């Protein structure tokens, strides 16, 4: 089923490199009639480095793998309990730019958090979503053939300790937070629905 010509797939826990390769295969093989897709996933513990990421932002070597990617941004951390939303969107077909796309992603998270009574915000010089000066959502994109790959990672209920081994997103001393610090009962399916609905509602129709 598609909404606003977007297919949503809930893939649960998938190895990072499997998803990375699948995103590129999908984008390379898509054509003018291919519907956009959203992939909801979680990954086993992994650090991912952005295409211009600096090595010094990995503060400590651990047994958690570090994978070089082609997304924008610096190093971040993924693990179960973090909701990742990969957005495979044809920007040209919807007549939107990359800055619009970033705003759509950020605002979809802000709206989702507002549903739980949480006031979140963005920063002009540091993409992502923040609560009380702490980061709850990171994002990074790559554009290929006018289409986006990658997306956002929203911290829900996870072990945040490994973030201490990096400068998250390249910012020394940046503290991370998660939804469970603000919401007692978390319905993961509701969060997925809120997140995808809010994002899709931002996308121009075609």
E-only strand ranges, the chain = 2-3, 6-13, 36-42, 46-49, 66-68, 76-78, 82-88, 121-123, 126-131, 134-144, 147-155
Would the pLDDT of 86 be above 90?
A: yes
Q: Are 109 and 42 in contact (CB under 8 A)?
A: no
Distance of CA 194 to the CA centre of its chain: 15
Window from 33-37, 59-63, 91-95, 153-157 with minimum mean pLDDT? 59-63
Task: Specify the pLDDT at position 56.
Answer: 87
Task: Specify the pLDDT at position 147.
Answer: 98
Task: Specify the pLDDT at position 52.
Answer: 85
Query: What's the half-sphere exposure (Cβ side, CA atoms, 13 Å) at 14?
Result: 19
Task: Specify the pLDDT at position 53.
Answer: 85
- Give me the chain's average pLDDT, please: 95
Task: Specify the pLDDT at position 47.
Answer: 95
DSSP H helix total and E strand total for the chain: 4, 11
Q: Which residue has the higher pLDDT, 124 or 102?
A: 102
Task: Specify the pLDDT at position 117.
Answer: 96
Task: Specify the pLDDT at position 1.
Answer: 64
Strand partners, 108: none
Cα separation, 174 vs 18, in Å, equals 29
Backbone angles phi, psi at 176, to 5 degrees: -105, 155
Q: Which long-range contacts (CB under 8 A, 24 or more apart) does 182-191 make?
A: 182/116, 182/118, 182/131, 183/116, 183/118, 186/156, 186/157, 188/83, 188/156, 191/83, 191/112, 191/154, 191/156
* Mean pLDDT of the 10-32 span: 97
Cα separation, 162 vs 59, in Å, equals 11
66-68 sheet: strands from edge to edge: 66-68, 46-49, 76-78
Residues annotated as part of the active site: 169
Task: Specify the pLDDT at position 55.
Answer: 86
Would the pLDDT of 166 be above 90?
A: no
Taking the domains of the chain in order of start, what are their residue ranges? 2-202
Per-residue confidence at 61, pLDDT binned at 50, 70, 90?
Answer: confident
**Second CATH level (architecture) for the domain 2-202:** 2-Layer Sandwich (3.30)
Would the pLDDT of 169 be above 70?
A: yes
């Amino acid at each position: 089923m598609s909404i606003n010509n977007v297919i949503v797939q809930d893939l649960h826990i998938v190895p990072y490199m499997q998803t990375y390769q699948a995103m590129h295969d999908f984008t390379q093989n898509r054509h003018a009639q291919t519907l956009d897709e959203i992939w909801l996933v979680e990954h086993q513990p992994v650090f991912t480095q952005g295409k211009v990421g600096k090595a010094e932002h990995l503060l400590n070597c651990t047994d958690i793998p570090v994978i070089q990617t082609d997304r924008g941004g610096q190093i971040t951390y993924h693990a179960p309990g973090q909701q990742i939303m990969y957005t495979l969107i044809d920007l040209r077909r919807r007549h939107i730019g990359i800055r619009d796309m970033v705003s759509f992603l950020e605002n979809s998270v802000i709206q989702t958090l507002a549903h739980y009574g949480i006031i979140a915000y963005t920063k002009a010089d540091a993409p992502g979503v923040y609560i009380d000066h702490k980061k709850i959502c990171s994002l990074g994109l790559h554009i290929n053939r006018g289409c986006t790959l990658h997306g956002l990672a929203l911290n829900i209920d996870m072990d945040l300790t490994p973030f201490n081994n990096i400068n998250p997103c390249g910012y020394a001393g940046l503290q991370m937070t998660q939804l469970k610090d603000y919401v007692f009962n978390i319905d993961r399916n509701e969060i997925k629905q809120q997140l995808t609905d809010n994002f899709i509602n931002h996308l121009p129709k075609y």
